Amino acid sequence: MKIGIVGGGAVGLLLAAYLGRHHEVTMYTRRLAQAKQLAEQGVALEKDGETTTVAVRARPFADAELDEPLVFVAVKQYDLDAIWARADAFRRVRTLVFVQNGMGHLDSLPLLVGQTILAGVVEHGAWKRDDRTVVHTGVGKLTLAVRFGSIGDARELQSDDPHFPIEWVDDWKRMLVDKLVVNAVINPLTALLQVNNGALLEVAPYREMMAQLFDEVRQALALADEQRAWERIVHICRKTADNYSSMYMDLAHGRRTEIDAILGYVLQQGEARGVALPLIRFLFCAIKGKEGREEDG
């Protein structure tokens, strides 16, 4: 199958590196230089010290008309506006897969009648070494669910690669909420305290902060199964103990964070439910403030 991937960040490169083995992948990047490099040299995947290369086609998104039946949109949520400014470019695409963190971006999509929308959750550890190289540090999975429409071509998205499993689930909402809850608790805390994920379990007062924050998140989102949600968070902290969260890394590198898509969304939901969320509001300000400082510096 022909697959398009919009976005040349760590997630876009990771998808291209694995999907490109069995599919004909075209990457759509923001910068011409990156597209050129990818088209000429392919995507490089570093895993356990070995590097493999996969050939892809690539071009800048800015002037492309996408003609793949299935396209992954792998930009950050705050870059979606730039994508929608060219919504017409997706006219010929039958299935779009959104892999952003957060949930709000899937509520109102400027798309065509008949298009299938999938939601995806990427739970791999990966970072971008350079414009064509992604380092795959932690094997997780890609989870997919239908958000709007019927599955169609996307049925072909399967993988028996143990380094890149693909899992289909029925309940898109539960899938996204699960990820949101984990992100809403682990990301801002590790970014604020400047610690790795494991420290939230190991340092007793940090674990208490995590419980306090979780208590607000579960109220804001009216979580059905609190116990299960809490255990998921603890499980992920333990499994990724040595990792630094994406929000930690974003701040460390002076990049914009996904705080709006994550805590901003939770805050909105809580406000709509009339729940008081002092800690979430406080943390939201802390990360916003740090973002501003990094941009200054």
CA distances from residue 140 to 40, 67, 91, 164, 233 in whole angstroms, order as listed: 29, 30, 32, 7, 15
Give the residue with the Cβ less far from a second copy, 14 or 262.
Answer: 262
286 part of the interface to a second copy, by CB under 8 A: yes
Give the residue with the Cβ less far from a second copy, 224 or 252.
Answer: 252
Give the residue with the Cβ less far from a second copy, 66 or 277.
Answer: 277
* Minimum CB distance to a second copy, residue 290 (Å): 7
Q: Which residues contact 204 (CB under 8 A, 6 or more apart)?
A: none
* Minimum CB distance to a second copy, residue 25 (Å): 40
3-state DSSP call for residue 129?
Answer: strand
Distance from C-alpha of 176 to C-alpha of 173, rounded to nearest angstrom? 5
Size of the site for a second copy (CB under 8 A): 24
Give the residue with the Cβ less far from a second copy, 112 or 279.
Answer: 279
179 part of the interface to a second copy, by CB under 8 A: no
* Member of 158, 225, 289, 295 binding a second copy (CB under 8 A): 289
29: left (phi > 0), else alpha (psi -120 to 50), else beta?
Answer: beta
* Secondary element (H or E) of residue 142: strand 142-148
256 part of the interface to a second copy, by CB under 8 A: no
208 part of the interface to a second copy, by CB under 8 A: yes
Is 179 an annotated catalytic residue? yes
Give the rounded distance of the alpha carbon of 234 from its chain centre. Answer: 20
Tokens of 176: 């996204």
Question: In the complex, which residues of this chain contact a second copy (CB under 8 A)?
Answer: 192-193, 195, 199, 203-206, 208-209, 212-213, 278-279, 281-282, 284-286, 288-290, 292-293
